[in-house]
Structure 1
Amino acid sequence: MSGEDFPRRNGISSPCVDICVIHPEARLCTGCLRSIDEIAGWGRMSEEERQAIMADLPARGPLKASRKGGRRGRMARGQ
């Protein structure tokens, strides 16, 4: 997926899919696969910096399969 394949939010390219859950070990968002630092600095980055990060996101993809279901999953497991 190229950077142009990602939606734009407020005129800024973004991989956000509104699933904002940080994976406890990987420390990446399970929705967009960005780190907390990447998410926090996204609006201050140049378009070139954002495109470089978005080009790297597919390599982080296996993390999505390891999601445990967020709050609903924890409640089902009694945590």
Structure 2
Amino acid sequence: MAGQSGMEIDHPRRGGRRSLQLHVMAAPIESPCRNLCSLDAERRGCTGCGRTLDEIVHWRSMTDAQRAVVMARVQDFEPLRRPAP
């Protein structure tokens, strides 16, 4: 099967050798989060990374294709600067 390799390992509790299948997957798409998290005035999106609230909430469950669409949209997003206290 593509993306898999097999090997045997010793498994002392199970009394012998067992086959172990390793699933080799591509690295997940990184989050665009910049640790500047703050919602805009309308509470629709993050002023730090440009993602919508829905995109932030569902980021981990999105497919790579869905994440790629978001990444393309926010790639040139400039974080809004907060006024100094």
Percent identical residues: 36
Q: Structure 1 segments of 4 or more deviating over 6 A?
A: none
- Give 1:41's aligned amino acid: H
Aligned length: 59
Q: Which runs of 5+ in 1 are unaligned?
A: 1-10
Q: Structure 1-normalised TM-score? A: 0.59
Q: Which runs of 5+ in 2 are unaligned?
A: 1-27
- Give 1:30's aligned amino acid: T
Tell me if the contact between 1:15 and 1:54 (Cα under 8 Å) persists in the aligned partners. yes
Q: How far did residue 27 of structure 1 move?
A: 1.9
Using CA pairs below 8 Å that are at least 6 residues apart, which structure has the higher relative contact order? 1
| Greater C-alpha radius of gyration | 2
**Which residue in 1 is equivalent to 2:35?**
18
Instruction: Tell me if 1:34 matches 2:57.
Output: no
Higher share in strand:
2
Q: Considering only aligned residues, what root-mean-square deviation do their CA atoms show, in Å? A: 2.4
Distance 1:40 1:26, change over 3 A: closer
